[in-house]
């Protein structure tokens, strides 16, 4: 349960008043989240894992980008962020979380693409540097090889292929935008509009990365890549389906290395191993031609 000192930051509990209820609603890979009900409404209290456990996490960046998206009505409003970033409290948005099936339906992908177009139009905070996916990939790779040197040749071959795919996707042609970078179904919510939640891996970077994320997570969406490019307004930036395919390869690489890096330092559930294996199979069997 949530410590009393943190509950004091939840609206309705400021004066020591107990909440009506608190319920664990998410025990993710990098945090735990509770739904707290008070006389003032419903709120989400998220307790964060230390960012040092994952080189891809930066809580300051997350907070800035979440706040910008919330200001634009794309993310839940922030109520409180602990000074050490160990806790984040947001408003609870009543709605329907997506399921994997949504990512195979044209109407839902079209609405998702339109919402991404809104996100990619939000002004970018000047303090956030542009994200280079291969820099992050090499950081994960270094972590893996440091613990398991025998992996060096194989991992560096994957990195070389990823760098070539990134170059072919021509990211320099697109101005950087705020990107969510983790658009699995548990992070997309339909209420009065589509909202994105859980901004741990948000970045400022190539807007095409958000589409590549969707294609990597949900291969059945690949046949609708052109629809997504148009709905997100990226056709106006000269994006082709081939560019999206190349960048999807890069995102699959990031996904594989993220899971593999976590596995060298700790035990992981069987579901993590399945995702890691699937990402690796796609890297090997669906590698784009040069």
| Tens digits of residue pLDDT in 56-65 | 789 999 999 9
Q: Are 197 and 122 in the same domain?
A: yes
Query: Is the pLDDT at 120 greater than 70, yes or no?
Result: yes
Q: Report CA torsion sign: 152, 154, 157, 163.
A: negative
pLDDT tens-digit map of 123-152:
999 999 999 999 999 999 999 999 999 999
Beta bridge partners of 196: 188
Q: Under a CB-based contact definition with an 8 Å cutoff, are residues 177 and 122 in contact?
A: yes
Domain membership flag for residue 290: no
b (16+ CB within 10 A) / e for 44-67: bbbbbeebeebebbbbebbbbbbb
Q: Are 133 and 268 in the same domain?
A: yes
Tell me what pLDDT residue 87 has.
94
| Structural domains counted in the chain | 2
pLDDT range class, residue 264, cuts 50, 70, 90: confident
pLDDT range class, residue 268, cuts 50, 70, 90: confident
Q: Under a CB-based contact definition with an 8 Å cutoff, are residues 48 and 88 in contact?
A: yes
CATH number where 246 lies: 3.90.1200.10
Burial of 34 (0-12, 13-18, 19+ CB in 10 A): buried
Domain's final residue, options 91, 106, 121: 91
Q: Are 184 and 226 in the same domain?
A: yes
Q: Are 71 and 114 in the same domain?
A: no
Domain membership flag for residue 117: yes
pLDDT tens-digit map of 213-249:
999 999 999 999 999 999 999 999 999 999 999 999 9
Q: Are 86 and 107 in the same domain?
A: no
Q: Under a CB-based contact definition with an 8 Å cutoff, are residues 120 and 207 in contact?
A: yes
Domain's final residue, options 46, 68, 91: 91
Domain membership flag for residue 154: yes
CATH number where 39 lies: 3.30.200.20
Query: Is the pLDDT at 19 greater than 60, yes or no?
Result: yes
Query: Is the pLDDT at 52 greater than 90, yes or no?
Result: no
pLDDT range class, residue 272, cuts 50, 70, 90: confident
Q: Are 41 and 163 in the same domain?
A: no
Domain's final residue, options 91, 120, 155: 91
Tell me what pLDDT residue 290 has.
46
Q: Are 44 and 121 in the same domain?
A: no
Residue (of 206, 227, 218, 223) closest to 252 by Cα position: 218
Instruction: Please report, for residues 80, 122, 188, 221, the alpha-carbon distance to residue 15 in angstroms, rounded to integers and kept in the order given.
Output: 16, 36, 34, 49
Tell me what pLDDT residue 221 has.
96
Tell me what pLDDT residue 13 has.
95
Q: Under a CB-based contact definition with an 8 Å cutoff, are residues 204 and 124 in contact?
A: yes
Domain membership flag for residue 195: yes
Q: At what angle do helices 152-168 and 133-147 cross, to 10 degrees?
A: 180
Mean pLDDT value across residues 184-197: 96
Q: Are 111 and 195 in the same domain?
A: yes
* Mean model confidence pLDDT for the chain: 93
Q: Are 169 and 203 in the same domain?
A: yes
Q: Are strands 194-196 and 87-91 parallel, antiparallel or unpaired?
A: unpaired
The SS3 call for residue 250 is helix
Query: Is the pLDDT at 185 greater than 60, yes or no?
Result: yes
Q: Between vectors from CA 280 to CA 274 and to CA 282, what angle results, nearest 5°? A: 105
Domain membership flag for residue 194: yes
Q: Are 64 and 174 in the same domain?
A: no
| Residue 259, domain extent | 96-285
Domain membership flag for residue 41: yes
Mean pLDDT value across residues 103-110: 96
CA 23 to chain centre: 24
Q: Are 224 and 102 in the same domain?
A: yes
Tell me what pLDDT residue 30 has.
64
Separation CA 243–CA 179 (nearest Å):
17
Query: Is the pLDDT at 175 greater than 60, yes or no?
Result: yes
pLDDT range class, residue 93, cuts 50, 70, 90: very high
């Amino acid at each position: 349960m949530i410590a009393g000192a943190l509950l004091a930051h939840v609206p309705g509990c400021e004066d020591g008043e107990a909440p009506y209820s608190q319920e664990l609603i998410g025990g993710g890979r990098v945090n735990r989240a509770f739904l707290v009900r008070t006389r003032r409404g419903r709120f989400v209290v998220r307790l964060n894992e230390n960012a040092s456990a994952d080189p891809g996490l930066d809580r300051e960046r997350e907070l800035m980008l979440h706040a910008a998206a919330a200001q634009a009505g794309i993310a839940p409003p922030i109520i409180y962020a602990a000074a050490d970033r160990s806790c984040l409290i947001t408003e609870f948005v009543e709605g329907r979380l997506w399921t994997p099936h949504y990512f195979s339906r044209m109407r839902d992908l079209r609405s998702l693409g339109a919402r991404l177009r809104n996100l990619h139009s939000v002004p970018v905070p000047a303090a956030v540097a542009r994200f280079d996916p291969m820099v992050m990939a090499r950081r994960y790779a270094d972590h893996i090889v440091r613990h398991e040197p025998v992996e060096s040749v194989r991992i560096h071959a994957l990195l070389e292929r990823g760098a070539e795919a990134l170059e072919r996707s021509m990211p320099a042609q697109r101005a950087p935008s705020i990107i969510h970078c983790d658009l699995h179904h548990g992070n997309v919510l339909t209420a009065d509009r589509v909202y994105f939640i859980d901004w741990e891996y948000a970045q400022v970077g190539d807007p095409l990365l958000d589409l590549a994320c969707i294609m990597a997570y949900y291969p059945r969406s690949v046949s609708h890549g052109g629809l997504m490019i148009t709905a997100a307004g990226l056709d106006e930036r000269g994006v082709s389906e081939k560019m999206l395919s190349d960048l999807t390869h890069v995102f699959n690489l990031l996904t594989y290395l993220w899971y593999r890096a976590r596995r060298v330092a700790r035990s992981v559930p069987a579901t993590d191993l399945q995702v890691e294996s699937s990402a690796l199979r796609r890297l090997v069997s669906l590698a784009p031609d040069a």
